[in-house]
Structure 1
Amino acid sequence: MSRTRSVTGSGPGVHRRAVLAVTGAVALSAGAGLALRPGERTAAAADATGPAADATGPVLTSREAPAAPLAPYTRGTTLASVATPRGTSGYRRLGDGPGWRRVVRGELAGPRSGRAGRRVPLAAFVQLTDLHLTDTQHPLRLEYLRATDPHAWRPQEALTVQGAIALVERVNALRGGPVTGAPLRFAMTTGDNTDNNARTELDWFLTVMSGGRITPNSGDPRHYEGVQNSGLTRYWQPDAAVRDADKRLGFPHIEGFLAAAIREVRSPGLNLPWYSTVGNHDAMPLGCYASHGDSYLAELAVGGRKLMELSAAEAKRLQSALKDDRDPRGVRYREFLAAHARAMRPVTPDERRAPFTPADYLTAHLDPAHLGPGPAGHGYSAANLQAGTQYYAFRIADDVIGVSLDTTDPGGHYEGSIGAAQLAWLDRTLTEHRDAHAVVFSHHTSRTMDNTRPDPARPDEARHTGADLLAVLARHRNVAAWVNGHIHRNAVTPHTGPDGGSFWEISTASHVDHPQLARVIELTDNKDGTLSVFTTLVESAAPARTDVTDLSQTGLAALYRELSLNAPGARTDLAGGAGDRNTELLLEKD
């Protein structure tokens, strides 16, 4: 059986404490985790121009298996109960409703009788995706696009931190897999962990995941400064008596809401190891502009002016340019902001709102302050930092490896692609570990990787589409699943290749739009020539029904759910169909 490891190497700009944290975690965990064979290479080591240390990287530790026989654990999952809207129109409340049944899907292998009694668990883990932790007071935000699209600004955005903490609390409460009862080995975030590519948001995300205190505020430490106390009736003004557009739809008046939203909260942090995958909102300002190094936009991000209002016609032109990918480097956006400088409102400057680069993203993950339960770097290593890469492989279990990809396109736009070097590395990694089942993680889906604009740092390197990635995965019969996000919708798709390779693509809804879900994924060997991939959706630990007078941390997390249900213009199909939710996905096993 092959083994997978991360290679750790020091490189320019790496903080000495970060390197020591990585190597220290290795030394402490060497007997508990499953490292890769010496001599194997990760993405960073394969592409680094300088030497990388040939040392075992972060190793995976998992919860100890209970002494008693494993039993399915469905409490807190959508098998047991689902938050269900009350009523069919107007401002709706949520309440506890019946759970979603499990659907068996046999497009890739027929279900064989008696498999439940034969199956052996191989791995169980949690996927979180599209948390979109949002600094709602950030000067570069595009709230004014609500003039043409009501969902361009969402009333729940001020509560993303409280909502994410409640999701962490739910994951911590899970005692095992809903099907096998097997211990959950790790959690993986599949990108768009932040929203505006702001350092404030990155710090909040890492603290939510690893534990600590967070004040979800920027600018003036004493009070909120943004569209929700602007007096503009286009946005929900929760504290004011003004009858804004959302209150006309039934949104409540909540005295003290904004003060509560920016009050310090505490995250317990995940109680199991967690890994990170990068999304377009983590890689580029506003998730679409290849404008790192643009001094005007950087100065505006930390400065004291914010545009809050725009005509419908101007908003339509700007949104069309974003959707049609007509301004990938943000040149027109910069010109647009300069033209509207006199319409901007004063806000308190804050250096913490500065955009972060891919190198900053890696360095922050390597910071010992955000270690939590590990592993050090959360998948990333100092060798990634040295090579300028954000992809890696890791050992999940004896018979299972994980591969985290970077599908963002540094050339700009929110749709993705994959570089030739990374695709070749993926092909090699899957070949070298052909005896292990593989689970591949990315942010983008196969249908949202059609942006092949060159990477400015590697202008001569070809970029490849989702179809190209599908072709590589289908060549490897050990690939069981490709797990991703980006589309904010639950979708499960079977894929087959000409050489007989088959796998399931599992896309999971976001945690910013209703129904705000995460997934537990379990892989089992049915001992009959088939594998099963079980998917089970989970909601946050916050109550389904809220009391608008409860402005505690938990009360705000519940309100986050209710506001997302009622957000004007929100899609109603993001939960997907029954076959995209709680499933058993069958595969032929070689």
Structure 2
Amino acid sequence: MPRTRSVAAFAAGVSRRTVLAAAAAVSLSAGVGYALRPTASEAATTAPAPRTPAAGTRGAAPLAPFTKGTTLDSVATPRGASGYRRLGDGPGWPRVVRTELAAARSGREGRRTTLAAFVQFTDLHLQDVQHPLRLEYMRVTDTHSWRPHEALTVPGAVSLVERVNALRGGPVTGAPLGFVMTTGDNTDNNAHSELEWFMRVMSGGRITPNTGDPRHYEGVQNSGLKMFWQPDSEVRDGDKALGFPHLDGFLAAAVREVRSPGLDVPWYSTVGNHDALPLGCYGSHGDPYLAEAAIGGRKLYDVALADARKLQAAIKNGTDPAAVGYRDFLKAHASGMRAVTADEKRAPYTRSDYLKAHLDPAYQGHGPAGHGYSAANLDAGTQYYAFRISDDVIGISLDTTDPGGHYQGSIGTAQLKWLDRTLRENRDSHAVVFSHHTSTSMDNTRPDPDRPGERRHGGAEVVTLLSRHANVLAWVNGHIHRNVVTPHRTGNGRSFWEISTASHVDHPHLARIIELTDNRDGTISLFTTLIESAAPHRTDFADLSQTGLAALYRELAFNAPGANPHLAGGAADRNTELVLEKG
């Protein structure tokens, strides 16, 4: 199918029903199919009714840019110069035109037609903050190892869902947003509790972000330890010394039931290292000691500085990928653990569990069934797939987590060959590749314990492969918690953009709208526009409602000690127009 065949038709008759009927047609889920059209065994999910009227429909208003609620319109901005700083409404960020890969030809605004529009979530890190295996005690050596806002990840994520639901179209094209893709680290500690919360946040329902004792919080924030912010206590902890507030009722509110409306567009899922590996770095599934510790009734709250530094070095340098040293560390500190309420919901989940949760009809929401994954993935034990975004665009979701352990990524030979084949067999469609890891964070090539003879491949090899295919427009990812937009050009004249988006757990708590347009002059533009959650920029310390907590989540994150103030990136990494030659 020529890539130009349906461009005009898409622009003239774009609607959620048109886009999503195609988007639901997934047939490369396990890397065993050869087409992107549904077969008898892979029926397309029924698409929801369009949220906005189709452009060009008789009596319908024409598509128009929709910037309200985006960072083009306004951005949370600090007040004051030092200490704990309150946030308020501030000016939006401008759009920067990037021409490293192609010239931006005059008149393109009047010629362009829409190919696709969608949203990227990444690094939500929904956290069971009372989980016995969390590493809060690492704060003794690295202040940012524990963040004061972590108990609010669920209301913060729900507010992001509310933001997407409030958007009436793309900020450049006005086209309806076809879907949301979440590019990994959806959960934080590979716990069943977190996986359930993630599925409910995305698809809708009631969530109680509490484990252990159902009556109250049990964790570091009511421990009395001055190393952690004690919001309900009169204890003069280190964070209060920096200006953090005393908030009566904060912890009770943090573990109270939250309601998510669920996304009112379909959503797809890409797996990250924190989803696949305990603590995001240990290839230790099946270790009976750690599995028992995860659901058990003992939790470590603090350790000596020297011990924390030793553990931190092992994690950072990847010298203990199978968690042998970590298990010994916990055993050595058993006498210093405190009693907590045991809870089986904290058990680690496997690759199969992750797939089954996505395939569960209870979490289907607006679809598609499986959110990209299929029964073929379950049978093959894979977590990569391809799907049809629109007539002219396919999406490819990779699994870049190394099952051998460590937080950096890679992919195996089988997946690399599948990626090459999928791009080759869909050469008449533009392609957008999704993954958790960035090209520069895929330098971990430990063998997969389940496939010990298979070679692992790093980011440089993936860039080389993508550069061989003229239909690749973009590689969209996360992991590094920072906005970075990178041009990739090869000697054969082929090029693509790598779009890395900041997390929703570290300030500035962003997601990204991506719009693809054909400029009808031999070039394509990719427009990227960042969005914050729907929570107000201003906080009210007396407001501990679900919305109030979401606003507080952002402000606490901005003030988190040790936080990197540069994660928003420069202007050229935020709201952009990325131009490239049509392949």
TM-score calculated relative to the size of structure 2? 0.94
2:25 maps to 1:43? no
CA offsets per residue over residues 385-437 of structure 1, 9 Å max, x none?
Answer: 00000000000001000000000000000000011000100000001111111
Structure 1 residue 68: Cα displacement: 1.3
CA offsets per residue over residues 174-196 of structure 1, 9 Å max, x none?
Answer: 00000000010000000000000
Q: Hey, what does 1:14 align to over in structure 2? A: none
User: Structure 1 residues 31 and 69, CA, compared in 2 at 3 Å: closer, same or farther?
Assistant: closer
Give 1:55's aligned amino acid. Answer: S
CA offsets per residue over residues 556-578 of structure 1, 9 Å max, x none?
Answer: 00000000000000000000000
Q: Hey, what does 1:23 align to over in structure 2? A: none
SS in 2 for 1:536: strand
CA offsets per residue over residues 284-340 of structure 1, 9 Å max, x none?
Answer: 000000000000000000000000001111111110110000100000000000000
SS in 1 for 2:116: strand
2:76 maps to 1:83? yes
Q: Hey, what does 1:258 align to over in structure 2? A: 251
Counterpart-to-counterpart distance in 1, 2:556 and 2:19: 47
Counterpart-to-counterpart distance in 2, 1:442 and 1:473: 13
Structure 1 residue 268: Cα displacement: 0.2
Q: Hey, what does 2:8 align to over in structure 1? A: none
Partner of residue 132 from structure 2, selected from 139, 143, 153: 139
2:168 maps to 1:175? yes
CA offsets per residue over residues 537-585 of structure 1, 9 Å max, x none?
Answer: 0000001110011010000000000000000000000000000000000
2:22 maps to 1:34? yes
Q: Hey, what does 1:65 align to over in structure 2? A: 54
Structure 1 residue 473: Cα displacement: 0.4
Counterpart-to-counterpart distance in 2, 1:294 and 1:499: 48
SS in 2 for 1:427: helix
Q: Hey, what does 1:295 align to over in structure 2? A: 288
SS in 2 for 1:269: coil
The 8 Å contact of residues 30 and 59 in structure 1, kept in 2 or not, is answered as: no
Partner of residue 383 from structure 1, selected from 376, 386, 389: 376
2:406 maps to 1:413? yes
The 8 Å contact of residues 29 and 374 in structure 2, kept in 1 or not, is answered as: no
Counterpart-to-counterpart distance in 2, 1:36 and 1:261: 36
Give 1:437's aligned amino acid. Answer: H
Counterpart-to-counterpart distance in 1, 2:396 and 2:483: 21
The 8 Å contact of residues 2 and 37 in structure 1, kept in 2 or not, is answered as: no
2:114 maps to 1:121? yes
Counterpart-to-counterpart distance in 1, 2:153 and 2:306: 30
Give 2:54's aligned amino acid. Answer: A
Give 1:45's aligned amino acid. Answer: V
User: Structure 1 residues 60 and 121, CA, compared in 2 at 3 Å: closer, same or farther?
Assistant: farther
The 8 Å contact of residues 105 and 585 in structure 1, kept in 2 or not, is answered as: yes
Q: How does 1:435-584 map to 2 (within 5 A)?
A: 435-584=428-577
Structure 1 residue 496: Cα displacement: 1.3
Give 1:473's aligned amino acid. Answer: L
Partner of residue 55 from structure 1, selected from 41, 52, 55: 41
Counterpart-to-counterpart distance in 1, 2:337 and 2:115: 56
2:216 maps to 1:216? no
The 8 Å contact of residues 176 and 182 in structure 1, kept in 2 or not, is answered as: yes
Q: How does 1:304-383 map to 2 (within 5 A)?
A: 304-383=297-376
The 8 Å contact of residues 28 and 387 in structure 2, kept in 1 or not, is answered as: no
Q: RMSD between aligned alpha carbons?
A: 1.8
SS in 1 for 2:160: helix
Counterpart-to-counterpart distance in 2, 1:80 and 1:235: 36
The 8 Å contact of residues 232 and 246 in structure 2, kept in 1 or not, is answered as: yes
Structure 1 residue 34: Cα displacement: 1.9
SS in 2 for 1:246: helix
The 8 Å contact of residues 117 and 516 in structure 2, kept in 1 or not, is answered as: yes
The 8 Å contact of residues 35 and 57 in structure 1, kept in 2 or not, is answered as: no
Partner of residue 206 from structure 1, selected from 199, 204, 207: 199
SS in 1 for 2:101: coil
User: Structure 1 residues 367 and 555, CA, compared in 2 at 3 Å: closer, same or farther?
Assistant: same
2:159 maps to 1:190? no
The 8 Å contact of residues 74 and 80 in structure 1, kept in 2 or not, is answered as: yes
The 8 Å contact of residues 60 and 396 in structure 1, kept in 2 or not, is answered as: no
Counterpart-to-counterpart distance in 1, 2:317 and 2:510: 29
Give 1:33's aligned amino acid. Answer: A
Counterpart-to-counterpart distance in 1, 2:294 and 2:453: 31
User: Structure 1 residues 54 and 417, CA, compared in 2 at 3 Å: closer, same or farther?
Assistant: farther
User: Structure 1 residues 37 and 321, CA, compared in 2 at 3 Å: closer, same or farther?
Assistant: closer
User: Structure 1 residues 159 and 54, CA, compared in 2 at 3 Å: closer, same or farther?
Assistant: same
SS in 1 for 2:77: strand
Give 1:94's aligned amino acid. Answer: L
How many equivalent residue pairs?
Answer: 560
User: Structure 1 residues 233 and 563, CA, compared in 2 at 3 Å: closer, same or farther?
Assistant: same
CA offsets per residue over residues 215-273 of structure 1, 9 Å max, x none?
Answer: 00000000000000000000000000000010000000000000000000100000000
CA offsets per residue over residues 74-97 of structure 1, 9 Å max, x none?
Answer: 000000000001122100010000
Counterpart-to-counterpart distance in 2, 1:247 and 1:515: 22
Counterpart-to-counterpart distance in 2, 1:479 and 1:31: 20
Structure 1 residue 509: Cα displacement: 0.3
Counterpart-to-counterpart distance in 2, 1:549 and 1:58: 48
Give 2:32's aligned amino acid. Answer: A
Q: How does 1:426-441 map to 2 (within 5 A)?
A: 426-441=419-434
Q: Hey, what does 2:228 align to over in structure 1? A: 235
TM-score calculated relative to the size of structure 1? 0.93
Counterpart-to-counterpart distance in 2, 1:37 and 1:295: 40
Q: Hey, what does 2:393 align to over in structure 1? A: 400
Partner of residue 92 from structure 2, selected from 99, 115, 130: 99
User: Structure 1 residues 439 and 393, CA, compared in 2 at 3 Å: closer, same or farther?
Assistant: same
The 8 Å contact of residues 58 and 379 in structure 1, kept in 2 or not, is answered as: no
SS in 1 for 2:118: strand
Counterpart-to-counterpart distance in 1, 2:459 and 2:538: 40
CA offsets per residue over residues 457-514 of structure 1, 9 Å max, x none?
Answer: 1111110000000001000000000000000000000001232220000000000000
SS in 2 for 1:45: coil
Partner of residue 586 from structure 1, selected from 552, 562, 579: 579
Counterpart-to-counterpart distance in 1, 2:28 and 2:237: 57
SS in 1 for 2:498: strand
Structure 1 residue 59: Cα displacement: 4.7
Gaps of 5+ in 2: 4-16
The 8 Å contact of residues 521 and 536 in structure 1, kept in 2 or not, is answered as: yes
Counterpart-to-counterpart distance in 2, 1:491 and 1:169: 25
Give 1:65's aligned amino acid. Answer: A
Give 1:43's aligned amino acid. Answer: A
Q: Hey, what does 1:22 align to over in structure 2? A: none
Structure 1 residue 32: Cα displacement: 6.5
Give 2:271's aligned amino acid. Answer: V
